[in-house]
Amino acid sequence: MSANELWGGRFAKGPAEIMERINASIDFDRRLYAQDIMGSMAHSSMLMACKIISEEDGRKIQEGLQTILREIEAGNFKTDPALEDIHMHVEARLRELIGDAAGRLHTARSRNDQVATDFRLWVRDTMDHLDGELADLQDALLDQAEAEADTVMPGFTHLQAAQPVTFGHHMLAYVEMFSRDRGRLKDARARLNESPLGSAALAGTSFPIDREMTAKALKFDRPTANSLDGVSDRDFALEFLGFASICSMHLSRLAEEIVIWSSAQFRFVECSDSFSTGSSIMPQKKNPDAAELIRGKAGRSAGAFTSLLMMMKGLPMTYGKDMQEDKEPVFDAADNLQLCLAAMSGMIRDITVNGEVMTAASGAGFTTATDLADWLVQKLDMPFRQAHHVTGALVKLAEDNKCGLEDLSLAQMQSVESGITDDIYKVLGVQNSVASRVSYGGTAPSNVREQVTRWRKRRAEEGGGK
Ligand code: ARG
Distance (Å, whole) CA 61 – CA 52: 14
One of 45, 158, 179, 362 is an active-site residue; which one?
A: 158
Distance (Å, whole) CA 65 – CA 167: 54
Verify whether ligand 1 is closer than 6 Å to residue 111 (CB atom). yes
Which residue's CA is the closest to the ligand 1 atom numbered 4?
Answer: 324
Q: What's the pLDDT at 6?
A: 67
Index of the ligand 1 atom closest to the CA of residue 119:
4
Q: What's the pLDDT at 279?
A: 76
Q: What's the pLDDT at 1?
A: 45
**pTM greater than 0.85:** yes
Q: What's the pLDDT at 5?
A: 64
Identity at 274, one-letter amino acid code: S
Q: What's the pLDDT at 327?
A: 98
Would you tell me how many other CB atoms lie within 10 Å of the CB of residue 76?
8
Verify whether ligand 1 is closer than 6 Å to residue 323 (CB atom). yes
Q: How would residue 7 be classed by pLDDT, with cut points 50, 70 and 90?
A: low
Index of the ligand 1 atom closest to the CA of residue 84:
1
Q: How would residue 86 be classed by pLDDT, with cut points 50, 70 and 90?
A: very high
What backbone torsions phi and psi does residue 57 show, to the nearest 5 degrees?
Answer: -65, -40
Could you tell me what percentage of the chain is helix, strand and coil, using 3-state DSSP and rounding each to the nearest 5?
Answer: 70, 5, 25
279 is catalytic: yes
Q: Where do the structural domains in the chain lie, given as residue ranges?
A: 17-111, 113-202+225-357, 366-428
Verify whether ligand 1 is closer than 6 Å to residue 233 (CB atom). no
CATH topology of domain 366-428: Ribonucleotide Reductase Protein R1; domain 1 (1.10.40)
One of 227, 279, 389, 409 is an active-site residue; which one?
A: 279
In tens, the pLDDT along 44-55 reads 999 999 999 999
In tens, the pLDDT along 183-203 reads 999 999 999 999 999 999 999
Q: What's the pLDDT at 302?
A: 97
CATH topology of domain 17-111: Fumarase C; Chain B, domain 1 (1.10.275)
Q: What is the CATH number of domain 113-202+225-357?
A: 1.20.200.10
Helix-then-strand count for the chain, H and E: 20, 6
Which residue's CA is the closest to the ligand 1 atom numbered 11?
Answer: 321
Distance (Å, whole) CA 144 – CA 138: 10
Paired strand residues for 353? 269
